Amino acid sequence: MAKMKEDYKNQIKNYQPKPPYLLNCLKAFLVGGFICLCGQGIQNFYMNVFDFSQKDAGNPTAGTLILISALLTGFGIYDKLGQFAGAGSAVPITGFANSMTSAAIEHRSEGIVLGVATNMFKLAGSVIVFGVVAAYVVGIIRYFYGLSF
């Protein structure tokens, strides 16, 4: 039986379409770069208009990118962008906001508490817990071994 599966896989290999790897990489690079360029533009806006330092402009920039990503997800635009760009739309902060908002929208018919709030944090909860545990472990290692990062 295993030999038949292997023979079948070898026979159909010639008829399967080859994915356009180079084009996919180019689209992901351009879209991901454009998202990062927008983030830099937002940060420069906060630094110039509100006279923030580069360090102080980081949090409002992240919040603005999260808001824009959530709004684009709600209007269905971010999903189309994701289909076009693939991994390029998964720039960490906007991709994370997109996944949280998508989960909330998908379960909105179940109500605000049991649908939106519960399902929105299914993905976020595990990421946040992992981040906190990793920070704790690194902090303990640094404390006991005096390592400077």
Residue-by-residue pLDDT tens, the chain, 149 positions: 778 888 888 888 888 888 899 999 999 999 999 999 999 999 999 999 999 999 999 999 999 999 999 999 999 999 999 999 988 888 888 988 888 888 888 887 888 777 777 777 777 777 778 888 999 999 898 888 876 55
Percentages (nearest 5) of helix, strand, coil residues in the chain: 85, 0, 15
Terminal-to-terminal C-alpha distance of the chain: 54
- Let me know: does 101 contact 70? Beta carbons within 8 Å: yes
User: What integer pLDDT is reported at residue 148 of this predicted model?
Assistant: 57
User: What would the two tokens of residue 64 be?
Assistant: 């603005």
pTM over 0.85: no
For the chain, which residues make up each domain, given as ranges?
Answer: 25-145
- Report the alpha-carbon distance of residue 43 to residue 56 in Å, rounded: 9
